[in-house]
Amino acid sequence: MIDIKLIRTNPEIVKENIKKKFQDEKLELVDKVIELDKTYRETKVECDSLRNQRKVKSKEIGGFMAKGQKEEAERVKAEVAGIGAKLAEMEELEVKLEGEIREIMLVIPNIIDESVPIGKDDSENVEVERFGDPFVPKFEVPYHVDIMEKVNGIDLDSARKTSGNGFYYLCGDIAQLQSCILSYARDFMIDKGFTYYIPPFMIRSDVVTGVMSFAEMEGMMYKIEGEDLYLIGTSEHSMIGKFIDTIISEDELPKTLTSYSPCFRKEVGAHGIEERGVYRIHQFEKQEMIVVCKPEDSMDWFHKLYGYTVEFFRTLDIPVRTLECCSGDLADLKVKSIDVEAWSPRQKKYFEVGSCSNLGDAQARRLGIRVKGADGNKYFAHTLNNTVVAPPRMLIAFLENNINEDGSIRIPEALRPYMRKDVISVPVKK
């Protein structure tokens, strides 16, 4: 959510930003919120005036009563009652206008960074840099489910019976591999100076609307029936929500956190759920990194964060590239975003395995996360989030880049202390 002062003073900047995001249908909202804001401020002034009048008149009543002038006191009491009735009416209007303004402000997109490439959708995202040489072995790389099935590592059929499409059982060495990757990711981030968290896996609606846009919420979140609770789609939701309505001392910044959680997603949209595969599913696990910092530091942290993901994947012998999201592909709260994509030897192309986002003060403004400076002044913090690793997508990249011709799977050196082996072997059929 942007600062309404910007709309008051520079509406054209806000409109130009909407055009850059190819959301022209929202242009009229700028003029609408300006009109509502004008009425709201006028109403607020009138409410303040009525309160003052009531206060003055109430004192008059006491004076008349002290002098025994009951008739005059009753006359003023009637005036106070009339003022009170008018004030109640205006206060109701004030609350109504405030709600309408907030509702509109929640859907006006955040101001994107000047460096963001302009484009309509993800087809116009821009490659930034590649790390590692994309390699295609001489043998054919199997589909990731076939790789896992060959080592008895996945059971999709049973999961369909218990839960439907979009779920799976991992088992044996593959289940261990996923847990080891997450443990390694945890330790990797702790070594970077981040504090490890396991957050609540459900959050209230006021946190949901604070951390994401309505469009994202509709396509992602599972609602708990009969309760004001939602299953999280990523631990970022809980971790940013942790700071709701707080004032952080400037000398406590930056807050650098890394969190593990299961994630639950509807995956509503064009892509849908795979019938046979684990790329797009309803439930998965994830290690996330979150930063709360001063505004002037957020871009430095942005580059550090996605750099950590690149470094993590390279320690596991997986070639990656970074891809900058264009204006039309940015969610409304984001100032700037870069995806990290892993190389797929089977498909001979890169695919997304993580995303790093700078949200400016949008989440902080929605959630009331403020910083108290050394001079005593308060301002909104900046928040960032980034994926360290999100199996099973990461599993797909790992398996394709570390498979041997006989179907066995190499374990990179960084992961061997966790797996306690250097290869996952294909079981010998009896």
Question: Residue 61 — very low, low, confident or very high, per pLDDT cuts 50/70/90?
Answer: confident
Angle subtended by helix axes 27-66 and 70-105, to nearest 10: 160
Share of the chain above pLDDT 90, in %: 84
The tens digit of pLDDT for each residue in 324-355 reads 999 999 999 999 999 999 999 999 999 999 99
Query: Rounded distance, CA 48 to CA 87, Å?
Result: 9
Confidence of residue 100 (pLDDT cuts 50, 70, 90): very high
* pLDDT at 69 exceeding the cut of 50: yes
Question: Between 11-20 and 27-66, two packed helices, what is the crossing angle to 10 degrees?
Answer: 140
- Relative to beta strand 195-197, strand 255-264 is parallel
Distance CA 125, CA 239 (A): 28
DSSP, collapsed to helix, strand or coil, labels residue 96 as helix
Task: Outline where 67-137 has alpha helix (H).
Answer: 70-105
Beta-bridge partner residues of 127: 323
φ/ψ bin of 74: left (φ > 0), alpha (ψ from -120 to 50), beta (otherwise): alpha
Q: Of 11-20, 48-57, 62-71, 265-274, where does mean pLDDT reach its minimum?
A: 265-274
Structure confidence at residue 321 as a pLDDT band (50, 70, 90): very high
Q: Can you give the pLDDT at residue 395?
A: 94
pLDDT at 216: 73
Instruction: Determine the length of the chain.
Output: 430
Distance of alpha carbon 325 from alpha carbon 98, whole angstroms: 33
Q: CB of 111 within 8 A of CB of 14? A: yes
pLDDT surpasses 60 at 56: yes
Least-confidence region, from 29-33, 63-67, 121-125, 244-248: 63-67
CA nearest to 340, candidates 354, 326, 324? 354
In this prediction, residue 272 has a pLDDT band, given cuts at 50, 70 and 90, of low
Alpha carbon 339 to chain centroid, angstroms: 14
Domains and CATH numbers, the chain: 4-105 (1.10.287.40), 122-424 (3.30.930.10)
- Residue 193 pLDDT: 98
Q: Express each pLDDT in 198-214 by its tens digit.
A: 999 999 999 998 888 76
Lookup: tokens for 213: 């846009």
Nearest to 358 by CA among 299, 311, 306: 299
93: phi then psi, degrees, rounded to nearest 5? -65, -40
Query: If you compute the radius of gyration of the chain from its CA atoms, what whole number of angstroms results?
Result: 28
Question: Encoding tokens for residue 124?
Answer: 């116009």
When pLDDT is cut at 50, 70 and 90, the band that residue 275 belongs to is low
Residue-averaged pLDDT of the chain: 93
The pair of structure tokens assigned to 122 is 């993800």
pLDDT over 70 at 279, yes or no: yes
Beta bridge partners of 344: 349
324-353: b (≥16 Cβ within 10 Å) or e: bbbbbbbbbbbbbbbbbbbbbbbeeebeeb
- For residue 75, the SS3 value is helix
pLDDT over 60 at 274, yes or no: no
Among 23-32, 169-178, 269-278, the range scoring the smallest mean pLDDT is: 269-278
Spatial separation of the C-alpha atoms in residues 148 and 394, rounded to whole Å: 13
pLDDT at 270: 47
Question: What is the tens place of the pLDDT at every residue in 113-162?
Answer: 999 999 999 999 999 999 999 999 999 999 999 999 999 999 999 999 99
Q: By three-state DSSP, how is residue 156 classified?
A: helix
- Closest CA relative to residue 259, chosen from 363, 115, 390: 390
Instruction: Reply yes or no: is the peptide bond before residue 391 cis, omega within 30 of 0.
Output: no
Secondary structure of residue 230 in the 3-state scheme: strand
pTM of this prediction? Answer: 0.89
Picking from 329, 405, 376, the residue whose alpha carbon sits closest to that of residue 120 is 329
